[in-house]
Amino acid sequence: MGAPSPVDLPVQRDEFEFPTIWSSSLKGVLRSTFELKARGVQDAVDRVAEEAFVRAVFGPKPASPEVSEYSSSLSLLDARLLFIPARSLRGIWAYLTSPHLLAYYRTYLEVAAAYSPQLGEGLKRLNELIDKVKEKFQKRGSEADHLALVSDEECVLKRDGGLSIVLNEEEFSAELFNDLNKLWEVLPGDVEKKSIAVVSDNAVKGLVKKSLVVQPRIRLGYETKTVAPGGLWDEEYLPQRTLLVTVAFARKPRQSLESLVNRIAQGQVGEQSGVKVEEIAKKALDKLSPLTAEGALKRLAEQRFAVLGGKETIGKGIAKLLWLPAEGRR
């Protein structure tokens, strides 16, 4: 375990103290997002179909009688850090990563490629790239912790003694390594392209910590306009454009859609204006069926935003979801 954080509300961290989003948190946020959508539907048939989709894919409501009957058909891995923006003396900022963080992504791509063979070529290119990166750091020996491999010249400073790059106020000797641009080939196409800087695993942890945003917060007493008791605290955020990666798998729903739809229709609709529950349930089932693993993932990939661990009312925690297309389970 690392040292206690001086920040009152820090971001989640993995076993190596890198920012992460645990899969339970990620899945809970996605479930809530789809639940809110279902509640906002006015048409009775569509509302029953949407609620049935949520329960079939994400599992029964916690503490409900259905908990012992079936489980979620969706599985998610922890979202691990791949890129984090680092301030740069030239070019404003660059994507920062390291061999350790790249290896996270390789592991996840290996898992995904086992179910989606078309990802195999990208995995091969990523393996070759990681091997080249490690070789370059090994060749520098004791100087490796002062080296940054850079994808282009946008953030590079030209000195009399060679090239350098300043990342989060720390200067590194820079080596241009255009092969880093191959990373874009194994990432979703809508990721913003920017200079990539790879530093050693020894150097990356301190730089990642410097990239995190710590924001002091204050709550004033209404009458006195002074700090209320307990009204002074710090919150930690990931900077904009941080990229974390996860893998989503889906299986065929474990629960009978017919019984699930009938149960939801009975609970939500009852008798409305002479319309029978059976009629609503049948129409909802027709809209929902067949619900396959591929269909569930397609619906999931249509979701483009989620609020992860922040206060939505002040614009914090809003995350853009980018999906790498894959057939079948992913």
Give me the tens of pLDDT residue by residue for the chain, a chain 330 residues long: 455 567 888 999 999 999 999 999 999 999 999 999 998 898 989 999 999 999 999 988 877 777 767 788 999 999 999 999 999 999 999 999 999 999 999 999 999 998 888 899 999 999 999 999 999 999 999 999 999 999 999 999 998 879 999 999 999 999 999 999 999 999 998 999 999 999 999 999 999 999 999 988 888 888 888 888 888 889 899 999 999 999 998 988 878 888 888 888 888 765 555 467 888 889 999 988 888 998 999 999 999 999 887 777 777 888 999 998 654 333
Residue 276 to residue 252: CA distance in whole angstroms: 29
* Structural domain boundaries in the chain: 18-78+246-330, 81-211
Report the DSSP beta bridge partners of residue 173.
147, 164
What beta strand segments (E) does 277-326 contain? 305-307, 318-320
Strands 196-199 and 93-97: parallel
Residue 81 to residue 102: CA distance in whole angstroms: 9
* Predicted local distance difference test score (pLDDT) of residue 271: 52
* Predicted local distance difference test score (pLDDT) of residue 329: 37
Residue 245 to residue 81: CA distance in whole angstroms: 7
Residue 184 to residue 152: CA distance in whole angstroms: 13
Report which of 78, 79, 83 is spatially closest to residue 208, judged by C-alpha positions.
Answer: 83
Complete DSSP assignment for 35-69: HHHHHT--SHHHHHHHHHHHHHHH-SPTTSGGGGT
Report the DSSP beta bridge partners of residue 197.
96, 150
* Predicted local distance difference test score (pLDDT) of residue 253: 85
Strands 74-76 and 248-250: antiparallel
Residue 94 to residue 211: CA distance in whole angstroms: 11
Give the pair of three-digit tokens for residue 247.
């893998």
Strands 147-150 and 170-176: parallel
Residue 106 to residue 122: CA distance in whole angstroms: 10
* Predicted local distance difference test score (pLDDT) of residue 330: 33
Distances (CA, A) of 161 to 164, 174, 279: 9, 11, 79
Residue 262, SS3?
helix
Residue 208 to residue 212: CA distance in whole angstroms: 7
Report the DSSP beta bridge partners of residue 97.
198
Report which of 208, 133, 204, 194 is spatially closest to residue 172, judged by C-alpha positions.
Answer: 204
Residue 10 to residue 300: CA distance in whole angstroms: 28
- Tell how far CA 296 is from the center of its chain: 18
- The number of beta carbons lying within 10 Å of the beta carbon of residue 299 is 14
